[in-house]
Structure 1
Amino acid sequence: MRSSRFVRGALVALACLLATTPAAAQTAPTPVATNADPGPVWRYTVRPGDNIWNLSRRYLADWRRWPELQALNGVEQPRSIPPGTRLSIPLAWLRLQPAA
């Protein structure tokens, strides 16, 4: 009886270990380079209701670059950027190029 409890406990522990292994094996996200020169930038003035995600979806060719946009501009609270804040957005990241 005691040995069957031991075996059952060992099997449960093994199952838990195997269940968590794929999550640990996933690759880590690529770190964001914040000290690289972004090249020419477009300046955007934040309006009420703007956040890093809706701005990324609206203006960036690849909205998934929002962490880079956040890091480049030193935005600490991506959900609530104070209106009037000036953001620099590299021209190379834009969906459309601004009019001259």
Structure 2
Amino acid sequence: MGSCSCAPALPGQLSVTVGRSSSFIMRFLRTLLCALCLWPALAGAQDWNYRVRPGDTLWDLGAAYLKPSVGWQQLQQHNRIDNPYRLPPGELLRFPISWLRVEPAPARVLAVRGQVELSAADGSSSRAVRAGEQLHIGDAIQTKADSSITLEFADASRLQLREYSRLRLDQLSRYGRTGMVDTRLRLQQGRASNRVTPARGPASRYIIDAPTATSSVRG
């Protein structure tokens, strides 16, 4: 029977292991997960706050942060701004998360030790992973004996995948220039250690799914 464990290491670190265990350990780990792992809030009902700087205009901010389908007039209405030509510096503007621009944010391979194979999302033949290359949504990596790989994500969070492990990259995206990043990973086998950057807004996520549980780190 598969199992997943997550436990805090040093501040900002998380270790996750998928392997075999007894039913007693399974129950214990599930209890531990409930106590230690935080689930992400629903981002769609929240706002990201921006503090106005001198020279800011609604149309410039809309072009920088909003999806093309969302006009700056909607931002004006949401914040109840009477005069769109005058934004007092220091004032907080609220941007609904669902309105924000979302962009791909590939992971970067920092280091490879031993034999690590990549199964790309485009279905191409498996090949060796190289340090310095980028990995994308849907890619999967697998480590062999005495092997490991270290990945860095858009918010500078890092993951090290240990030997005999398999990881799939389910979501790698960022909310424009807000600093918020959505990273979702699936640990299908083995062990991974993580150093997670503190969240920069309500939509920031760092989630690792495993066969029996999901661990989430925010804040």
Could you say whether these structures have the same fold, taking a TM-score greater than 0.5 normalized by the shorter chain as the test?
A: yes
Instruction: Specify the alignment match of 2:88 in structure 1.
Output: 82
Q: Which of the pair has more CA radius of gyration?
A: 1
More strand by share: 2
- Given the alignment of the two structures, is residue 70 of structure 1 paired with residue 65 of structure 2, yes or no? no
Rounded Cα–Cα distance in structure 1 between residues aligned with 2:52 and 2:59: 12
Q: CA RMSD for the aligned pairs?
A: 1.7
TM-score (norm 1): 0.57
CA distance in 1, matches of 2:97, 2:91: 18
Q: Which residue of 1 aligns with 2:47?
A: 41
Give me the whole-angstrom Cα distance separating, in 1, the residues matched to 2:101 and 2:80. Answer: 22
CA positional deviation for 1:50: 0.4
- Match in the other structure for 1:95: 101
Kindly tell me the number of residue pairs found equivalent between the two proteins. Answer: 63
Higher relative contact order, structure no. (Cα contacts within 8 Å, ≥ 6 residues apart): 1
Asked if the contact 2:70–2:99 (Cα under 8 Å) also holds between the matched residues in 1, the reply is no
Displacement of 1:64: 4.6
After superposition, the Cα gap between the structure-2 partners of 1:54 and 1:69, relative to the gap in structure 1 and judged at 3 Å, is same
In 2, distance between residues paired with 1:59 and 1:73?
A: 15
- Pairwise CA distance, 1:92: 0.7
Task: State percent identity of aligned pairs.
Answer: 40
Instruction: Please give the alpha-carbon distance, in whole angstroms, between the structure 1 residues aligned to 2:51 and 2:58.
Output: 12
Output the TM-score relative to the length of structure 2: 0.27
- Contiguous gaps of at least 5 residues in structure 1: 1-37
> In the aligned structure 2, how far is the partner of 1:62 from the partner of 1:73?
19
Aligned to 1:53: 59
User: Hey, what does 2:20 align to over in structure 1?
Assistant: none
Which of the pair is proportionally richer in helix? 1
Looking at structure 2, the residues matched to 63 and 49 of structure 1 have their Cα atoms a distance apart, in angstroms, of 24
Residue pair 1:51, 1:79 contacting (<8 A) in 2 also: yes
Name the amino acid aligned to 1:67.
Answer: Q
